[in-house]
Structure 1
Amino acid sequence: MAQVIDDFARTIQLDELWSDPYPIYRTLRENQPVAWVPAANRYLLTRHSDIAYLEKHPEIFSAAETHSLMIRVMGLTMLRQDGADHLRERKAAEPALRPRMVKQRWTPAFQRIADELIDGFRDRGEADLFTEFAAPMAAKCLAAVLGLADVPAQDLQTWSQAMMDGTGNYADDPVVWQRAESAARGVERAVDAAIERLSAHPDDSVISAMLHAEDPLTPRQIRDNIKLFIGGGLNEPRDATTVGTYALLTHPEQRARVEADPSRFKDVFEETVRWVAPIGMYPRQTTMETELGGTVLPAGAKLGIVLASANRDESVFDNPDTFDIDRTGRVHLAFGGGPHFCLGTWTARAQVGAVALPTLFRRLPGLRLSGAEPVRWGGWVFRGLLNLPARWDV
């Protein structure tokens, strides 16, 4: 049986994972939770317990992966560092993203952005909510938080997608590398302009916080980390918004309960990022030989930490493939854990759970899927909807 499962892992193809990774993850969880997958050039970790253990032991499972695709695209960000170096850069950005700042400064800004976008298409009675709402809202909100308010939302969307495609370019597609490198240069130019402005006129933004920290970051460190924020801070809230909307549109009983009690949109958000984790996989590397999930890993082993699988682990979640806002004791891993727990967690919860989702359902009466074209899914390193055609009553 072990040989059969090993052969299964070796036959996994990236296009299969992109189309629908969940059946593959289920097989790996049940039979080989730490499996060498040649197509990904790494061991995939698929069980919740193993990933939770890994996050508590960064001294064994390092974020500083050699030949990292993220480092190739973005440079050396805080996400690819451990220990004091990681903590220093994280601490510099943190003031702009604390819960109180998010509530008092950013949530009102998010609400204005959501309302302005909906004003632009509400009277039409139909729209693709991916392209006309979720994506531009994520870009505009991110621009405000980072200190890039003068950068067009479309530029941020283009840069984000290109860089994220690069960090997931395990197929080594040269066209993807070219797009990612071009996007990175665009980000650097925009950040340099922001640094010049914010050096003289500080504000509440992330770039300003990094510039004026007790231990300020260098321009290079700011550029690289803003690339990271543009990647993770745009695609993830965009995808959580579209997936959460789709989930409610296809689960009418749950939708009715949420519309009767809007405070439950926070439950919708948490279940959404469990059900379809926007960051499906991230890398780690072992610093020594170790055993995990019944597999002996050599020092220097490249790992893929599959949050999308952990969040559907049957040993943790009942009926894990089902969207259910009434789950109790949520212990999803959508935001990771340990020292690298997502710095934008509170921002994402506010942007999606407190603003985007409730505003859509409040302002678009009778919101429903249009049926004009099928809803499409894609991705495994980053997964979400690719469109969301909808209609509502005017």
Structure 2
Amino acid sequence: MTAIDVPIDETITFEMLDRDPASVYQRLRRENPIVRIKAINRIVLTKADHVYLAKTDMVHFGSEDDQTPMQRAFGGHTLMRKDGEAHLKERAAMTETFKVNHWACDWKNRFATHIDQVLDQLPTSGELELSGKFAKPLVARILNDLLGIEPDSEEQLFSWAKSLITGAMNASFDEKVFAISDQANAEMNACFDRMIEQHRAAPNPSVLSVMANAENPLPLSQIRTNMKICIGGAAIEMRDALLTVLHGLLQHPDQLASCQQSRRWDLACEEGLRWVAPIQASPRIVKKEIELDGVRLPAGETIMAVQGSANYDEDYWQNPEQFNMHRPFAAHQTFGAGPHRCMGENIYRRIMSELILPKFFARFPNAKPAQNSKVEFRGFAFRGPLELRVKLAEN
């Protein structure tokens, strides 16, 4: 059978991908799992096996690309758009921070203190919006510690992350958009340079300190750009992932009760990551022409490997739209796969399962969704709830 060119779908709008991508991908997995969506001018892969292949087959697919708006937005060529030895060298420069011994000796107690302090600032009853009052300040404190930075405020970390992401998605290379990311770059570089001096005087296991104090450190330009990868790839995503799993548990009190009794918060954490992947899609370059299920992907094309769709693939998941922490195990693709798999995945799991979820529900065991509140998820590439309103009540 002769391979066909990638079909084009002209019916899908960006608004559909922003508001209800699950319905779009459900149809595509059934009818056209490999398709070019005209509204975004990208080929998307929606089946789990295809998405996994795009992340792990380094002969046919890669990330190397220095012509994207990401380079301008991040002030340099980051490890996310590199492959092979160049990527591995820069990735290896950060791995020390995420080793288990640092979790046991450094991070666990420090992060537990942050969580207790943020919980202490919350009211003990009444309605509360968790994104602004709980998730954002908590994530900022944890990441500032883990990365080894001191922004001017907790909000500045999220401002930087938003500026980086917006700049990286600036496909039209609009100078007005880049002006925002340029300003954020100047602020971040000043912060990094100031903190490097402190870390050289007092080394610690934070990402910036580990890179700055390496025996053969990366050039300053690469330390800066890869710190920005950590900011752009963690702040908003960790906030959204936290809110997603809280929403899932609050909507399913039977599953919450199961967690409270069994202490298997890890099951809820994993299901939240699968249910709504905070990073829904990742770009890859077709390095060498390949045929997938009778469709020809030509060399040079940029594709979007949609892990948000892969996590709903009916070949692996039954009733994937439902939050069900008791479902049979199948590995989700939220953290990616292959050489670019998220290096922070395991520390995120520990933070969520060992600290945040048990501490939050120990403080508020009777928390429930606020009356008449509707949780709205938005986003095509990055996805999370706009807000999460709950009714708090202690024992």
**Which TM bucket (shorter chain)?**
over 0.9
Verify: 1:28 aligned to 2:50, yes or no: no
Verify: 1:100 aligned to 2:86, yes or no: no
- In the other structure, the counterpart of 1:41 is 41
TM-score by length of 2: 0.93
Q: 1:171 to 1:117 in 2, by over 3 A?
A: farther
Q: In structure 1, what is the Cα distance between the partners aligned to 2:22 and 2:379?
A: 11
Q: In structure 2, what is the Cα distance between the partners aligned to 1:248 and 1:11?
A: 35
Provide structure 2 residue ranges, at least 5 long, that are not aligned to the other structure. none
**Conserved? CA contact 2:66–2:77, under 8 Å:** no
Q: In structure 2, what is the Cα distance between the partners aligned to 1:30 and 1:175?
A: 40
CA deviation profile, 1:53-112 (whole Å, cap 9, x unmatched) = 222212321111353233231121111110001110111100001233223311222211
Q: 1:302 to 1:150 in 2, by over 3 A?
A: closer
CA deviation profile, 1:128-147 (whole Å, cap 9, x unmatched) = 11111111111111100111
Q: In structure 1, what is the Cα distance between the partners aligned to 2:293 and 2:340?
A: 22
Verify: 1:203 aligned to 2:172, yes or no: no
> Structure 2: which amino acid aligns with 1:312?
Y
Verify: 1:110 aligned to 2:111, yes or no: yes
CA deviation profile, 1:348-392 (whole Å, cap 9, x unmatched) = 112222222221111113101113643221112010111011111
Deviation at 1:171?
7.2
Q: How does 1:124-273 map to 2 (within 5 A)?
A: 125-149=126-150, 151-169=152-170, 176-262=177-263, 264-273=264-273
**Conserved? CA contact 1:103–1:350, under 8 Å:** no
Secondary structure at the aligned position of 2:10 is classed as helix
Q: 1:47 to 1:393 in 2, by over 3 A?
A: same
CA deviation profile, 1:204-237 (whole Å, cap 9, x unmatched) = 1101111222431111101101111011121121
Q: In structure 1, what is the Cα distance between the partners aligned to 2:72 and 2:34?
A: 26
> Structure 2: which amino acid aligns with 1:56?
T
**Conserved? CA contact 2:54–2:284, under 8 Å:** no
Identical pairs, percent? 33
Q: RMSD over aligned Cα, in angstroms?
A: 2.1
Stretch of structure 1 that moved more, 317-326 or 170-179:
170-179
Q: In structure 1, what is the Cα distance between the partners aligned to 2:165 and 2:390?
A: 27
Q: 1:184 to 1:48 in 2, by over 3 A?
A: same
Q: 1:372 to 1:140 in 2, by over 3 A?
A: farther
**Conserved? CA contact 1:98–1:346, under 8 Å:** no
Secondary structure at the aligned position of 2:328 is classed as coil
Q: How does 1:53-72 map to 2 (within 5 A)?
A: 53-72=53-72
Verify: 1:321 aligned to 2:321, yes or no: yes
Q: 1:97 to 1:365 in 2, by over 3 A?
A: same
Q: In structure 2, what is the Cα distance between the partners aligned to 1:364 and 1:96?
A: 32
- In the other structure, the counterpart of 1:383 is 383
CA deviation profile, 1:298-325 (whole Å, cap 9, x unmatched) = 1110011101000000011111111111
Greater per-residue helix proportion: 1
Stretch of structure 1 that moved more, 166-175 or 71-80:
166-175
**Conserved? CA contact 2:241–2:272, under 8 Å:** yes
Secondary structure at the aligned position of 2:44 is classed as strand
Q: In structure 1, what is the Cα distance between the partners aligned to 2:177 and 2:373?
A: 27
Q: In structure 2, what is the Cα distance between the partners aligned to 1:218 and 1:249?
A: 46
Stretch of structure 1 that moved more, 321-330 or 82-91:
321-330
Deviation at 1:126?
3.0
Secondary structure at the aligned position of 2:355 is classed as helix
**Conserved? CA contact 2:279–2:383, under 8 Å:** yes
**Conserved? CA contact 1:240–1:352, under 8 Å:** no
Secondary structure at the aligned position of 1:121 is classed as coil
- In the other structure, the counterpart of 1:368 is 368
**Conserved? CA contact 1:147–1:206, under 8 Å:** yes
Q: In structure 1, what is the Cα distance between the partners aligned to 2:330 and 2:36?
A: 29
Q: In structure 1, what is the Cα distance between the partners aligned to 2:246 and 2:38?
A: 35
Q: How many residues align?
A: 390
Secondary structure at the aligned position of 1:40 is classed as coil
Secondary structure at the aligned position of 1:371 is classed as coil
**Conserved? CA contact 1:373–1:389, under 8 Å:** yes
CA deviation profile, 1:330-362 (whole Å, cap 9, x unmatched) = 210011011111011122112222222221111
Q: How does 1:286-305 map to 2 (within 5 A)?
A: 286-305=286-305
> Structure 2: which amino acid aligns with 1:344?
G
